[in-house]
Amino acid sequence: MNCVEYIENFLSAHADGELSPADLLDAEQHLRQCLGCRAKLDDERALKSLLREHIEMRAMPDAMRRQLLEALDRAAAEEETQSAGHPAAHQVRRLLGRPVLWTGLALAAALAIVFVSTRRFLPHRPPVEASAPTRDADFDVAIAAFDRFQREFEPNMPSDSPAVLSAAYARARMPGFIWNFSASGFNLAGGRLDRLPDGRKVTYTFYRGARNSILCTRFKAGNASAPAGQAEALNGHIFYRYRGYSLCYTRMPDGGFVCILASRLPLDRMVKAVKVALR
Ligand SMILES: [Zn+2]
Protein backbone atom coordinates (compact mmCIF):
# COMPACT_ATOMS: atom_id res chain seq x y z
CA MET A 1 0.00 0.00 0.00
CA ASN A 2 1.30 3.49 -0.77
CA CYS A 3 0.40 6.82 0.81
CA VAL A 4 -2.17 7.83 -1.78
CA GLU A 5 -3.99 4.51 -1.45
CA TYR A 6 -3.94 4.76 2.31
CA ILE A 7 -5.17 8.34 2.43
CA GLU A 8 -7.87 7.95 -0.16
CA ASN A 9 -9.23 4.52 0.76
CA PHE A 10 -8.33 3.78 4.37
CA LEU A 11 -7.61 6.89 6.44
CA SER A 12 -11.14 7.99 7.22
CA ALA A 13 -12.45 4.49 8.02
CA HIS A 14 -9.30 3.81 10.02
CA ALA A 15 -9.89 6.88 12.19
CA ASP A 16 -13.49 5.73 12.70
CA GLY A 17 -12.36 2.22 13.64
CA GLU A 18 -14.34 0.78 10.77
CA LEU A 19 -11.69 -1.15 8.82
CA SER A 20 -12.11 -4.90 8.31
CA PRO A 21 -9.48 -6.99 10.12
CA ALA A 22 -7.64 -7.65 6.85
CA ASP A 23 -7.67 -3.96 5.84
CA LEU A 24 -6.59 -2.99 9.33
CA LEU A 25 -3.54 -5.24 9.05
CA ASP A 26 -2.62 -3.67 5.71
CA ALA A 27 -3.13 -0.16 7.05
CA GLU A 28 -1.07 -0.81 10.16
CA GLN A 29 1.70 -2.28 8.09
CA HIS A 30 1.84 0.92 6.04
CA LEU A 31 1.78 3.13 9.15
CA ARG A 32 4.68 1.25 10.71
CA GLN A 33 6.96 2.53 8.01
CA CYS A 34 5.27 5.85 7.18
CA LEU A 35 5.54 8.69 9.66
CA GLY A 36 3.54 11.05 7.44
CA CYS A 37 0.45 8.88 7.29
CA ARG A 38 0.65 8.15 10.99
CA ALA A 39 0.57 11.88 11.64
CA LYS A 40 -2.40 12.21 9.29
CA LEU A 41 -4.23 9.49 11.20
CA ASP A 42 -3.59 11.34 14.48
CA ASP A 43 -4.94 14.55 12.99
CA GLU A 44 -7.93 12.79 11.54
CA ARG A 45 -8.80 11.21 14.86
CA ALA A 46 -8.33 14.49 16.70
CA LEU A 47 -10.53 16.32 14.24
CA LYS A 48 -13.25 13.71 14.35
CA SER A 49 -13.33 13.58 18.11
CA LEU A 50 -13.49 17.36 18.27
CA LEU A 51 -16.36 17.38 15.87
CA ARG A 52 -18.15 14.66 17.81
CA GLU A 53 -17.56 16.21 21.21
CA HIS A 54 -17.98 19.88 20.69
CA ILE A 55 -20.71 20.43 18.17
CA GLU A 56 -23.73 21.82 19.90
CA MET A 57 -26.95 23.09 18.49
CA ARG A 58 -26.08 26.70 18.16
CA ALA A 59 -25.94 28.65 14.96
CA MET A 60 -22.57 29.76 13.66
CA PRO A 61 -22.56 33.50 12.99
CA ASP A 62 -22.21 34.43 9.34
CA ALA A 63 -18.93 36.26 9.89
CA MET A 64 -17.40 33.18 11.49
CA ARG A 65 -18.59 30.91 8.75
CA ARG A 66 -17.10 33.25 6.15
CA GLN A 67 -13.83 33.38 8.08
CA LEU A 68 -13.67 29.61 8.30
CA LEU A 69 -14.40 29.12 4.62
CA GLU A 70 -11.69 31.61 3.71
CA ALA A 71 -9.26 29.80 5.99
CA LEU A 72 -10.16 26.51 4.36
CA ASP A 73 -9.63 27.97 0.92
CA ARG A 74 -6.20 29.16 1.95
CA ALA A 75 -5.45 25.73 3.40
CA ALA A 76 -6.63 24.05 0.21
CA ALA A 77 -4.46 26.34 -1.90
CA GLU A 78 -1.46 25.48 0.25
CA GLU A 79 -2.27 21.79 -0.03
CA GLU A 80 -2.16 21.94 -3.79
CA THR A 81 1.54 22.58 -3.59
CA GLN A 82 1.96 19.36 -1.62
CA SER A 83 2.24 15.88 -3.06
CA ALA A 84 -0.35 14.41 -0.73
CA GLY A 85 -3.03 16.82 0.44
CA HIS A 86 -4.41 16.63 3.91
CA PRO A 87 -8.04 15.61 4.11
CA ALA A 88 -8.88 17.62 7.23
CA ALA A 89 -9.71 20.81 5.34
CA HIS A 90 -11.97 18.96 2.95
CA GLN A 91 -13.62 17.18 5.82
CA VAL A 92 -14.45 20.38 7.65
CA ARG A 93 -15.74 21.83 4.43
CA ARG A 94 -17.92 18.80 3.85
CA LEU A 95 -19.32 19.08 7.34
CA LEU A 96 -20.01 22.75 6.83
CA GLY A 97 -22.01 21.90 3.78
CA ARG A 98 -24.36 19.90 5.97
CA PRO A 99 -26.91 21.59 8.21
CA VAL A 100 -24.54 21.35 11.16
CA LEU A 101 -24.54 24.10 13.75
CA TRP A 102 -21.36 25.21 15.41
CA THR A 103 -20.17 26.74 18.61
CA GLY A 104 -17.37 29.25 18.70
CA LEU A 105 -15.22 26.76 20.57
CA ALA A 106 -15.76 23.94 18.10
CA LEU A 107 -15.02 26.34 15.30
CA ALA A 108 -11.83 27.63 16.86
CA ALA A 109 -10.73 24.08 17.61
CA ALA A 110 -11.47 22.92 14.09
CA LEU A 111 -9.63 25.92 12.68
CA ALA A 112 -6.64 25.17 14.86
CA ILE A 113 -6.61 21.59 13.62
CA VAL A 114 -6.80 22.67 10.00
CA PHE A 115 -3.90 25.05 10.50
CA VAL A 116 -1.89 22.45 12.36
CA SER A 117 -2.64 19.85 9.73
CA THR A 118 -1.70 21.91 6.73
CA ARG A 119 1.27 23.62 8.31
CA ARG A 120 3.01 20.39 9.25
CA PHE A 121 3.34 19.39 5.61
CA LEU A 122 4.56 22.74 4.38
CA PRO A 123 8.22 23.08 3.58
CA HIS A 124 10.08 24.61 6.48
CA ARG A 125 10.39 28.35 6.08
CA PRO A 126 13.11 30.21 7.90
CA PRO A 127 11.59 32.53 10.51
CA VAL A 128 11.46 36.17 9.41
CA GLU A 129 10.56 37.38 12.89
CA ALA A 130 12.11 40.43 14.43
CA SER A 131 13.49 39.81 17.88
CA ALA A 132 12.68 41.90 20.89
CA PRO A 133 15.27 44.68 20.97
CA THR A 134 16.98 43.72 24.24
CA ARG A 135 18.18 40.53 25.81
CA ASP A 136 16.18 39.54 28.83
CA ALA A 137 17.62 37.28 31.52
CA ASP A 138 14.23 35.82 32.49
CA PHE A 139 13.40 35.06 28.87
CA ASP A 140 16.78 33.40 28.42
CA VAL A 141 16.02 31.11 31.38
CA ALA A 142 12.72 30.12 29.76
CA ILE A 143 14.06 29.41 26.27
CA ALA A 144 17.13 27.52 27.52
CA ALA A 145 14.80 25.27 29.53
CA PHE A 146 12.50 24.90 26.53
CA ASP A 147 15.38 23.70 24.35
CA ARG A 148 16.55 21.30 27.00
CA PHE A 149 13.10 19.82 27.63
CA GLN A 150 12.18 19.59 23.98
CA ARG A 151 15.06 17.15 23.63
CA GLU A 152 14.09 15.27 26.77
CA PHE A 153 11.55 15.93 29.48
CA GLU A 154 11.37 13.87 32.65
CA PRO A 155 8.80 15.00 35.25
CA ASN A 156 9.96 15.04 38.87
CA MET A 157 6.58 16.08 40.30
CA PRO A 158 3.45 13.90 40.47
CA SER A 159 1.98 14.50 37.01
CA ASP A 160 -0.83 11.97 36.62
CA SER A 161 -3.33 14.75 35.90
CA PRO A 162 -3.48 18.55 35.89
CA ALA A 163 -5.20 18.45 39.31
CA VAL A 164 -2.52 16.21 40.83
CA LEU A 165 0.28 18.37 39.46
CA SER A 166 -1.44 21.57 40.57
CA ALA A 167 -1.76 20.24 44.12
CA ALA A 168 1.90 19.21 44.12
CA TYR A 169 2.98 22.71 43.04
CA ALA A 170 0.79 24.25 45.71
CA ARG A 171 2.37 22.03 48.39
CA ALA A 172 5.76 23.31 47.19
CA ARG A 173 4.41 26.89 47.57
CA MET A 174 4.55 27.47 43.87
CA PRO A 175 1.66 28.72 41.67
CA GLY A 176 -0.79 25.89 41.00
CA PHE A 177 -2.48 27.10 37.83
CA ILE A 178 -2.11 24.54 35.02
CA TRP A 179 -2.77 25.70 31.48
CA ASN A 180 -5.17 23.64 29.41
CA PHE A 181 -3.96 23.71 25.81
CA SER A 182 -5.75 20.51 24.82
CA ALA A 183 -8.16 22.31 22.47
CA SER A 184 -5.08 23.51 20.58
CA GLY A 185 -3.59 20.03 20.42
CA PHE A 186 -1.15 20.20 23.36
CA ASN A 187 -1.32 17.72 26.21
CA LEU A 188 0.23 17.96 29.65
CA ALA A 189 3.49 15.96 29.64
CA GLY A 190 4.21 16.70 33.31
CA GLY A 191 5.87 19.09 35.70
CA ARG A 192 9.23 19.67 37.36
CA LEU A 193 10.35 21.59 40.41
CA ASP A 194 13.98 22.71 40.13
CA ARG A 195 16.25 25.51 41.26
CA LEU A 196 17.77 28.25 39.16
CA PRO A 197 21.55 28.73 39.47
CA ASP A 198 20.93 31.54 42.00
CA GLY A 199 18.81 29.25 44.20
CA ARG A 200 15.31 30.48 43.29
CA LYS A 201 12.72 27.73 42.99
CA VAL A 202 11.35 27.25 39.50
CA THR A 203 8.58 25.07 38.07
CA TYR A 204 8.55 23.78 34.51
CA THR A 205 5.29 22.50 33.09
CA PHE A 206 5.65 20.89 29.71
CA TYR A 207 2.94 20.47 27.06
CA ARG A 208 3.47 18.34 23.99
CA GLY A 209 1.72 18.58 20.62
CA ALA A 210 2.21 16.55 17.47
CA ARG A 211 4.93 18.80 16.13
CA ASN A 212 5.51 21.54 18.70
CA SER A 213 5.72 21.93 22.44
CA ILE A 214 4.95 24.63 24.99
CA LEU A 215 6.88 25.10 28.21
CA CYS A 216 5.49 27.08 31.15
CA THR A 217 8.28 28.38 33.40
CA ARG A 218 7.50 30.05 36.74
CA PHE A 219 9.72 31.68 39.32
CA LYS A 220 9.83 34.78 41.50
CA ALA A 221 11.09 37.80 39.62
CA GLY A 222 11.24 40.63 42.13
CA ASN A 223 9.38 43.75 41.15
CA ALA A 224 10.52 44.02 37.56
CA SER A 225 7.89 45.14 35.08
CA ALA A 226 7.27 43.44 31.75
CA PRO A 227 10.25 43.61 29.36
CA ALA A 228 10.07 46.10 26.48
CA GLY A 229 9.48 45.04 22.90
CA GLN A 230 6.09 43.37 23.22
CA ALA A 231 4.34 42.28 20.05
CA GLU A 232 0.87 41.90 21.46
CA ALA A 233 -1.01 41.96 24.76
CA LEU A 234 -4.14 40.22 25.93
CA ASN A 235 -5.62 40.80 29.39
CA GLY A 236 -2.26 41.03 31.14
CA HIS A 237 -0.65 38.32 29.02
CA ILE A 238 2.12 39.92 27.02
CA PHE A 239 3.49 38.28 23.90
CA TYR A 240 6.96 38.59 22.45
CA ARG A 241 8.92 37.37 19.49
CA TYR A 242 12.25 36.61 21.07
CA ARG A 243 15.25 35.05 19.35
CA GLY A 244 13.12 32.78 17.18
CA TYR A 245 10.72 31.81 19.97
CA SER A 246 7.22 32.93 20.79
CA LEU A 247 6.84 33.93 24.43
CA CYS A 248 3.91 34.83 26.62
CA TYR A 249 4.80 36.72 29.81
CA THR A 250 2.36 36.99 32.69
CA ARG A 251 2.92 38.54 36.09
CA MET A 252 0.97 36.33 38.42
CA PRO A 253 -1.37 38.12 40.84
CA ASP A 254 0.22 36.72 44.02
CA GLY A 255 3.68 36.16 45.39
CA GLY A 256 5.76 38.03 42.80
CA PHE A 257 5.85 35.11 40.38
CA VAL A 258 6.14 35.42 36.64
CA CYS A 259 4.83 32.83 34.20
CA ILE A 260 6.66 32.59 30.88
CA LEU A 261 5.26 30.38 28.14
CA ALA A 262 7.83 29.50 25.51
CA SER A 263 7.30 27.77 22.19
CA ARG A 264 8.52 27.54 18.63
CA LEU A 265 4.94 28.07 17.47
CA PRO A 266 4.38 31.12 15.28
CA LEU A 267 3.25 33.97 17.52
CA ASP A 268 -0.27 34.10 16.12
CA ARG A 269 -0.80 30.45 16.99
CA MET A 270 0.64 31.00 20.45
CA VAL A 271 -1.79 33.89 20.99
CA LYS A 272 -4.65 31.73 19.77
CA ALA A 273 -3.70 28.85 22.05
CA VAL A 274 -3.59 31.19 25.07
CA LYS A 275 -6.91 32.77 24.07
CA VAL A 276 -8.60 29.39 23.78
CA ALA A 277 -7.11 28.22 27.08
CA LEU A 278 -8.39 31.32 28.87
CA ARG A 279 -11.93 30.94 27.61
ZN1 LIG B 1 2.06 6.87 3.86
Q: What is the CA(64)–ligand 1 centre distance, in A?
A: 34
- Among the ranges 25-29, 67-71, 77-81, which has the highest mean pLDDT value? 25-29
Number of structural domains in the chain: 2
Domain-located, residue 233: yes
Domain-located, residue 129: no
- My answer on whether 145 and 273 are in the same domain is yes
Q: What is the CA(123)–ligand 1 centre distance, in A?
A: 17
The residues placing their C-beta within 5 Å of ligand 1, an ion, are 3, 34, 37
Q: What is the CA(72)–ligand 1 centre distance, in A?
A: 23
Q: Is 247 helix (H, G, I), strand (E, B) or coil?
A: strand
Range of the domain at 98: 3-119
**Closest C-alpha among 72, 79, 11, 20 to residue 45:** 11
Q: What is the CA(39)–ligand 1 centre distance, in A?
A: 9
Residue 71, pLDDT score: 66
Q: What percent of the chain has pLDDT over 90?
A: 50
Instruction: Point out the least confidently predicted range of 125-134, 240-249, 253-262.
Output: 125-134
Q: What is the CA(36)–ligand 1 centre distance, in A?
A: 6
Close Cβ partners of 70 (under 8 Å, ≥ 6 residues apart): none
Domain-located, residue 8: yes
Q: What is the CA(31)–ligand 1 centre distance, in A?
A: 6
- pLDDT-derived band of residue 161, with 50, 70 and 90 as boundaries? very high
- My answer on whether 181 and 218 are in the same domain is yes
CATH of the domain at 153: 3.30.200.100
Domain-located, residue 128: no
User: DSSP string of 179-246?
Assistant: ---GGGT-EEEEEEEEE-TTS-EEEEEEEE-SS-EEEEEEEE-TT--PPS--SEEETTEEEEEETTEE
Q: What is the CA(3)–ligand 1 centre distance, in A?
A: 3
- pLDDT-derived band of residue 278, with 50, 70 and 90 as boundaries? confident
Residue 164, pLDDT score: 92
- My answer on whether 108 and 147 are in the same domain is no
Q: What is the CA(183)–ligand 1 centre distance, in A?
A: 26
Q: What is the pLDDT of residues 187-234, one digit of tens each?
A: 999 999 999 999 999 999 999 999 999 999 999 987 667 888 888 898
Q: For residue 63, which phi and psi values (nearest 5 degrees)?
A: -60, -40
Domain-located, residue 132: no
Q: What percent of the chain has pLDDT over 70?
A: 69
Contact 205, 228 (CB under 8 A): no
Report yes or no on whether pTM surpasses 0.85.
no
**Closest C-alpha among 64, 152, 156, 59 to residue 99:** 59
User: Mean pLDDT score of the chain, rounded to an integer?
Assistant: 80
Q: What is the CA(96)–ligand 1 centre distance, in A?
A: 27
Q: CA 277, CA 66: separation in Å to the nearest integer?
A: 24
- My answer on whether 110 and 190 are in the same domain is no
Beta-strand runs (E) in the chain: 187-195, 201-208, 213-220, 232-234, 237-242, 245-251, 257-263
Q: What is the CA(38)–ligand 1 centre distance, in A?
A: 7
Instruction: Point out the least confidently predicted range of 67-81, 142-156, 168-182.
Output: 67-81
If you average pLDDT over residues 6-34, what whole number do you get? Answer: 92
Q: What is the pLDDT of residues 33-55, one digit of tens each?
A: 888 899 889 888 887 776 665 55
Domain-located, residue 90: yes
Q: What is the CA(10)–ligand 1 centre distance, in A?
A: 11
Q: What is the CA(168)–ligand 1 centre distance, in A?
A: 42
